[in-house]
Structure formats: C-alpha cells, structure tokens
Amino acid sequence: MGAKAPQQLVRNFDGIFRRQVDYTVRGVDEGNRSVRVTASTNTVDSHGDIVEQDFQLDRYRKNPVILFNHHNFDSSNFSLGGAVDPSWLIPIGRAEDVGVSGGNLEATIIFATEKVSKLAENVYQAFREKMMSAVSIGFRPHKISEEKLENGTTRYRLGQNELFEISAVPMPSNPDAVAKSLMAERNWIRHDYFKKSTVGYTEYPILETASWDADDALARVRKYASIDGSGNPETINFDRYKEAFSWFDVSNPNDVNSYKGLHHDVKDGWLYNSKAGLIALGNTLQGSRAGLNIPAEDIPDIKKHLEKHYEQFNMVAPWQKSETVQVTVSLDTPNRKNEMDPEKMKAELEAKVAEIAVLKAHAATAEEKFKSLETRAATAEARVTALETELSTEKTASEKLEKEFKAASDKVTALEAKNAEVVISGYVGKKLSPAEKDEHLDLVKTLGLDRVEKMLKARPDITITEEVEIDEKVKAPKSLTDADPSAELVELANKAVKK
C-alpha cells in the first residue's frame, strides 16, 4: 500500500456557531487581572450574517468559562490528527457581568493565575500589553431567517442565541478559517435546519484537466474523505465527502450512495474544482446523460452552485449561454440571418457572452469589496460612538472631581487661617502687642505660619501694663530699649507705647 496522501484538517461542525469581534477591549483592571470586552455586536459579521443580540445566558452563567481559541476537552471536534497541547484545554479564566448593554454583548474576563495555567498568564499579559485585543463567542442559534440580497446571495439572521463560551483569540479573523467555518455553518443551516438537499457553493482552487473519469474521481474523493485514507465507506467523514457533490439525500446522509452530482476531484490530498468534472456535470444537467434523477425543485439551486464554479474558469454555464444567445439575437440581430455566416455569428455571440461573464465577475468582485468597506465603516462608526460616550462620561467625572477638589481646597484654606488665628493669638501679650496681631496674620499668608512663629519665638517677651500717651520728644522707657537693642524691636515697642 502506497504512502498515505496528506489530509486536510477539518473541524467537524457541532452545531456551535463561532463569531469573532476584533479590537473589543474596553478596559484593563490590573488589580483584578480582568479585561472588559465587547463580545458580540449586531453589525454584519465576517461571515456576512447578523447575530441578533438576544442572547440566552442562563446556561453560560452557570459555568462562565473563558477558553483560548475555542479549544475544549472535546477532541472529537477534529476529524483528522492535529495534536493539541493539553494545557490549551483548560479554561484560562471566567466571565463576570455578562449581559447585553447598549445593543452589544459585553463581559468582564477574569484571568486565571499562573498556578492554574501558564497559558492564562501569557494571554492576560498579551491583553495588558495590547498584543491581543480580540475575542470570539461560541453559540447556538434557535431561530434562523433568510434574507435574499440584491447580488443573489443569502444572508442569515441568527436569533434566540444560546451562549456556550467566550474565547480569547490571538489574531483578527483569518479569511481561510472564515471560509471553512462558513462552509460548515452554511451546510448545517441548509441541511439540518432548513432540511435542504442541495450542497452550498464553496470556492476551491481550480484544476485544469482535459478528461474526466467519474469512477476514478469518486475513488479519490472517498479516500480524501475517509479518516484513515482507505476509502472504506465505514470510515467516511460525510462532512468532507459532501463537499465534492452538488446534492445528497438529506434523509439518509450517512450512505455514500445518497450523494450525486460529483464535480470535484482530489490532487495531492486537497480538493479541487475540476474543469472537466464541472463541464461533465453541466452537460448532465442539460440532459446529455438522462439528467441526475433528483427532484426538479432542487435543480435551480444546483445550477446556481455550478454557475459560480464556471466563473472561476471565466466560463458561462451552458444553460446561461443559451439564454444569453436568445436574448442577444432577439435584441441585436433581428435581420442579420441572411447577412452573416451562421458560424461567424455564433463565434461573435460566444465572444459577447464571454465578455459579459467577465464583466459580471468584475462587478461581483467590486460589490463584495464595497460590502466589506461598508462593514468596516459601520464598525468604525460604532467604535467612534462608543469612544464619544466614554469620553463624555470621563469628562463628567472629571468636572465632578474638580468641584470636589476646589471645595476641599477651600476648606483646607479656611482651617489653616483659623489655625493661624489661634497660634498668633497665643503670642499676643507675650511676644507682640494686640496691634501687631493683624500684621503678623498678613505675614503668615506670604511667609507661612512656621516662619512667622519661628520669628516670634526668637523675640524677647514684652510686658504691657496699660496704654499711655507720651510726648513725641520723650524717649522710650529705658526698659524697652534695653530689652532688645535691635531697631526692629525698638520700633515695634515704641508703636505699642504710643498707643
């Protein structure tokens, strides 16, 4: 038996939808090792859907785990290989204050300590240092409604959402991961929720092949889809097997014979959009081999699926081609049957059809880019609104603090003045006269109480028995001049005597 072909690692869809919100951190509290995050919004998400913010939280609040990258103890989530570090399976924290606020699902993540999980410590530090800023939720919608968009695609509204877990994720939404997740979710919605038998379109790399052997291709697909690479029907992972077909019997999904409309092939262990297989199936739908023998009501959905694969090869499906030719002839060439060779006319019309197909592809690409820009603009606008609200709240709090600070400052000033009054009054009659009290209180305002009190303590005691009036020519009492020969104290003593 030859070497086993490389296998694609695919997560089996467990009915849990996963949606990521990038740049959601609202605040970090280092004291509590916590981060406040916005976990979900009602804007169009990376899958093109809208998650209604009507979360059922009773189950989650009983066990509010925070995981890393959606890893949990259920290793059966992976159909093939893919060893996971056991430490990743332990929750890295818990959530508190989980609820819908301002139209968004918000939560506070309390990270586990390093004793519980080194990974939790690493993730917490990454959030604290702004190396990580995104979270993702795992939930199960109990109500799904379809919205048909102008570009022909379908948008789903997911409602009555039961929250199962919140995960810290290390990077913004990866396009490849989103594509695989989207495929699994779309298949679940179509086949398990709406009970549809047609397989949804998924873009795969193209394989230019000149011939098509359906039996050989089927054998390769069965090996690709089997867990052990044997192709044995008992080992088939039908989520992988389904990808290669356009229709299956939804009432019997675990039978390999329930699947019809094979048009993909396998090369080097990877699934491809085979040009030869696509053309063969397109011809089958046109009746070249008695059709597929499937319900007529499912044919339009299968054709829409295949039309997108034809666009990958810059081709037009045969049923589109015939319709376009009829319209072109009726509108552009009503009287040219006798003026132009039929073969030349056919070639010209085919060229026009090909040109229209290219233009349609370009228009679809431009529309997708525009939708992406609209989504980004809506996200930015929501972020700006949140920041404006946060700024307004902080401004109000700041103004309140300023008022409280001024009131406290005024109170301190009043207390200091009262204290100075008491201290200086204690020196009246001992170190200074009553007339000098106000003068020294003024000095306190400029020099401070400590310096004025130090100066007073350095002065000698004075004794004032009564107020007397003396002639200006009479010298001051000898006792005063002898008390302190300094000019300053003599002057102050004389002022006291004059009064």
Residues 172 and 121: their CA atoms lie apart, in Å, by 21
For residue 263, the model assigns a pLDDT of 92
pTM of the model: 0.44
pLDDT single digits (tens) 339-379: 456 777 777 787 778 778 878 887 888 888 888 888 888 88
For residue 109, the model assigns a pLDDT of 96
Tokens of 231: 């192709």
Residues 188 and 18: their CA atoms lie apart, in Å, by 13
In angstroms, what CA-CA distances link 387 with 28, 58, 399? 15, 30, 18
Within 13 Å of residue 349, how many CA atoms lie on the same side as its CB? 22
Q: Are residues 46 and 166 in the same domain?
A: yes
- H/E/C letters for each residue in 152-165? CCEEEEEEEEEEEE
Residues 102 and 259: their CA atoms lie apart, in Å, by 47
Q: Are residues 25 and 165 in the same domain?
A: yes
Could you tell me if residue 76 is inside a domain? yes
Q: Are residues 257 and 357 in the same domain?
A: no
Q: Is 227 exposed, middle or buried (0-12, 13-18, 19+ CB in 10 A)?
A: middle
Tokens of 268: 């080097």
Q: Is residue 137 within a helix (H) or strand (E), and if so which, with residue range?
A: strand 134-148
Quickly list H helices, 189-298: 214-225, 238-242, 275-285
For residue 2, the model assigns a pLDDT of 40
Could you tell me if residue 181 is inside a domain? no
Residues 164 and 374: their CA atoms lie apart, in Å, by 30
Q: If we measure between CA atoms, which residue out of 435, 436, 430, 482 comes closest to residue 459?
A: 430
Q: Are residues 319 and 411 in the same domain?
A: yes
For residue 47, the model assigns a pLDDT of 81
What three-state secondary structure class fits 239? helix
- Domain boundary at 415, 438, 465, which? 415
For residue 292, the model assigns a pLDDT of 75
Residue ranges for the chain with pLDDT beneath 50: 1-11, 73-82, 289-290, 324-339, 465, 468, 470, 473-486
Rg for the chain (alpha carbons), in Å? 42
Residues 332 and 340: their CA atoms lie apart, in Å, by 13
Instruction: Look up tokens 């356009």; give the residue.
Output: 246
Q: Is residue 166 within a helix (H) or strand (E), and if so which, with residue range?
A: strand 154-169
The one-character DSSP state at 290 is S
Count other Cβ atoms within 10 Å, centred on residue 416: 14
Q: Are residues 443 and 302 in the same domain?
A: no
- Domain boundary at 312, 328, 355, which? 312
Could you tell me if residue 8 is inside a domain? no
Q: Do the Cβ atoms of 106 and 97 come closer than 8 Å?
A: yes
Q: Are residues 295 and 403 in the same domain?
A: no
pLDDT single digits (tens) 443-492: 888 888 898 888 888 888 876 545 545 455 444 444 444 444 445 555 66
Q: Are residues 365 and 435 in the same domain?
A: no
Could you tell me if residue 182 is inside a domain? no
Residues 252 and 122: their CA atoms lie apart, in Å, by 47
Q: If we measure between CA atoms, which residue out of 165, 167, 123, 114 comes closest to residue 28?
A: 123
Could you tell me if residue 5 is inside a domain? no
Q: Do the Cβ atoms of 241 and 221 come closer than 8 Å?
A: yes
Could you tell me if residue 109 is inside a domain? yes
Q: Are residues 41 and 127 in the same domain?
A: yes
Q: If we measure between CA atoms, which residue out of 105, 138, 103, 134 comes closest to residue 21?
A: 134
Backbone torsions φ then ψ of 80, nearest 5 degrees: -140, 125
For residue 478, the model assigns a pLDDT of 46
Count other Cβ atoms within 10 Å, centred on residue 192: 13
Residues 95 and 37: their CA atoms lie apart, in Å, by 10
Could you tell me if residue 460 is inside a domain? yes
Q: Are residues 108 and 28 in the same domain?
A: yes
Residue 468, domain extent = 426-498
Q: Do the Cβ atoms of 456 and 428 come closer than 8 Å?
A: no
If one counts the domains in the chain, the total is 4
